[in-house]
A = this chain, B = another copy of it.
Amino acid sequence: MRKSKQETSETRQRIVTSASVEFRQNGIHQTALTDLMAAAGLTHGGFYRHFESKEQLVAECCGVAVDSMVETMEVAMAQRTTQGAIEALVASYLSTRHRDKPGMGCPISAQGSELARSAGGTRMAATHGILKLVDLLAKQFENLPPDAAKEQALVAFSTMVGALTLSRIVTDPELSITLLEQAERHLVQTLSNSI
């Protein structure tokens, strides 16, 4: 049943892609190898032909998830003024759509507290991801010194991660919306002053 090199690499990619969704949706610990191999249309036994361990896959998925996140954001921001781009990024991150589809969204928000307890490799991947997302915002502040722009973006990203996480925890639907809306309003206002 050996597969061609191309098929093999496609399979590997399929596992990573679908696993990155599963991890964000159900959590790292709650997603079993059997589940994610099934999500890729395979049985669990073949996992170790592609990866050394679950931890290695988790780290790789974190990177892939961030990259797809960055791409989504860039699409939302394209063809806009600086002001418009910032508004689009914030609105997209703090949307109810993002809140309700953690599997397609930001892995930092979706797995925050689990990442904080993860192994070094995963945390390094997450760190790179955080910096990529922060940079996406920081480079909008062309008139600020790079350091100041990065610091501004770090705080804004913290607010977005916190607000999205809280909006997913809270049982009161109104409060959940308020969290997203108020954070968005605050960020658009604050960040406009830094353009």
Contacts and interface: CB of A to CB of B under 8 A. Distances in A.
Contacts of A182: 151, 154-155
Interface in A38-97: none
Nearest to A180: B158
A127 B165 contact: no
A27 B113 contact: yes
B26 A171 contact: no
A178 B155 contact: no
Contacts of A159: 155, 158-159, 162
Contact of A169 (B102, B127, B178): B127
A111 B111 CA distance: 10
Given A111-B113, A113-B113, A114-B114, A161 B154 contact: no
A146 interface: no
Contacts of A30: 29, 117
A169 B26 contact: no
Contact of A26 (B117, B130, B154): B117
A131 B178 CA distance: 13
Contact of A112 (B124, B165, B190): B165
A112 B169 contact: yes
Given A113-B113, A158-B163, 20 more contacts: A27-B113, A27-B114, A27-B117, A29-B29, A108-B166, A111-B113, A112-B169, A113-B114, A115-B169, A116-B165, A116-B168, A116-B169, A130-B166, A130-B169, A130-B170, A151-B178, A155-B159, A157-B162, A161-B161, A162-B163
23 contacts: A27-B114, A27-B117, A102-B116, A112-B166, A113-B113, A114-B114, A116-B165, A120-B171, A126-B169, A127-B171, A130-B169, A154-B178, A154-B179, A154-B182, A154-B183, A155-B182, A155-B183, A155-B186, A157-B166, A158-B162, A158-B183, A161-B161, A161-B165
